[in-house]
Amino acid sequence: MLKKELQKQGDFLFRYRSNFPLLFLVAGMAVFISKTLQAAESGINFPETYYMIICVAIALFGQLIRILTVGFTPVNTSGRNSLKQIADEINKTGIYSTVRHPLYVGNFFIWLGLAMITANVWFVVAFIFLYWVYYERIMYSEEMFLYNKFGEDYEKWADKTPAFIPSLKRYEKPSLPFSWKKILKKEKNGIAAIFILFFIFDFISFLLETGRFKFNLEFNFWFYAAVAATVFYFILKYMKWHTTLLNEPGR
């Protein structure tokens, strides 16, 4: 049955969903290098600073969606687990009152910002299509898991809540207060990755265009942002594993 096949595919992709960004990143890097070399031969500066800012703004918008999602959720929900699906309760308030899969909406904008760096329309279109095909199956698998666990309670909420495109008119105030500790503990990876990846793209562009390593003002911005993000990441990682500063009961 197609229903069983979709769930089987979704279960498999759920376990390996962190691999999709890596494959996409490699493909995007190849397209970016090709575009940069073509621009260098024509004497064109690529990518322009303003365009990089637009791309990183889109990626940070996606990260903001993740922050507004994770920050209001209780423990054992909305996690990064990959071995198996976990849900002690159904998140129905906050951003979950507007869309069923807000984390994947956030991920979409993060990777859209990176896809746009290539300035290749067909690559961006291909990314959007593949993202939907890939995550549609994961969302189906997650929903079947939640339906089997919570039954009619989940079905009633799902029937009135959009799967991927938020309905802001349905917004309900979060049932829990915002937890910065949970954000610092759970979302440090994504925040650091955004700035590190944008630095890598900018650095590759600079090397291909000039053929030498040399700092300039534009290059320095992305370099220092990446360094700050990396330091930030390791400080939080240390705090998570060696202190109790980020611990918060029930979160």
Cis amide leading into 162 (omega within 30): no
Please tell me which of 21-25, 116-120, 247-251 the model is most confident about, judged by mean pLDDT.
Answer: 116-120
Pick the residue with more confidence: 251 or 202? 202
pLDDT value at residue 60: 98
Pick the residue with more confidence: 221 or 44? 221
**Structural domain of 104:** 2-242
* Residue listed under structure tokens 């593949």: 130
User: Is 162 inside a domain boundary?
Assistant: yes
pLDDT value at residue 83: 53
User: Is 158 inside a domain boundary?
Assistant: yes
Distance CA 83, CA 105 (A): 22
Tell me how many domains the chain contains: 1
What is the average per-residue pLDDT within 148-174? 93
User: Is 21 inside a domain boundary?
Assistant: yes
pLDDT value at residue 218: 53
User: Is 122 inside a domain boundary?
Assistant: yes
3 pLDDT band, cuts 50/70/90, is: low
pLDDT of 23 > 60? The answer is yes
Average pLDDT taken over every residue of the chain: 87
pLDDT value at residue 176: 92
Q: Nearest CA to 190 among 75, 69, 92, 95?
A: 69
Distance CA 13, CA 141 (A): 9
Distance CA 212, CA 22 (A): 27
What is the average per-residue pLDDT within 99-107? 96
What letter represents residue 190's amino acid?
G
**DSSP code string of 76-101:** TSS----SS---SS---SBGGGT-S-
Q: What percent of the chain has pLDDT over 70?
A: 88
pLDDT value at residue 17: 72
Please tell me which of 77-81, 87-91, 150-154, 233-237 the model is most confident about, judged by mean pLDDT.
Answer: 233-237
Q: Nearest CA to 112 among 186, 43, 56?
A: 56
When computed from its CA atoms, the radius of gyration of the chain, rounded to whole angstroms, is 20
Pick the residue with more confidence: 130 or 17? 130
User: Is 169 inside a domain boundary?
Assistant: yes
User: Is 144 inside a domain boundary?
Assistant: yes
pLDDT of 129 > 60? The answer is yes
pLDDT of 202 > 80? The answer is yes
pLDDT value at residue 148: 87
- φ and ψ of 121, to 5 deg: -60, -40
pLDDT of 18 > 90? The answer is no
User: Is 123 inside a domain boundary?
Assistant: yes
* Residue listed under structure tokens 């990064």: 80
Q: Nearest CA to 180 among 110, 245, 96?
A: 245
pLDDT value at residue 33: 92
User: Is 250 inside a domain boundary?
Assistant: no
Q: Are 97 and 173 in contact (CB under 8 A)?
A: no
pLDDT of 43 > 80? The answer is no
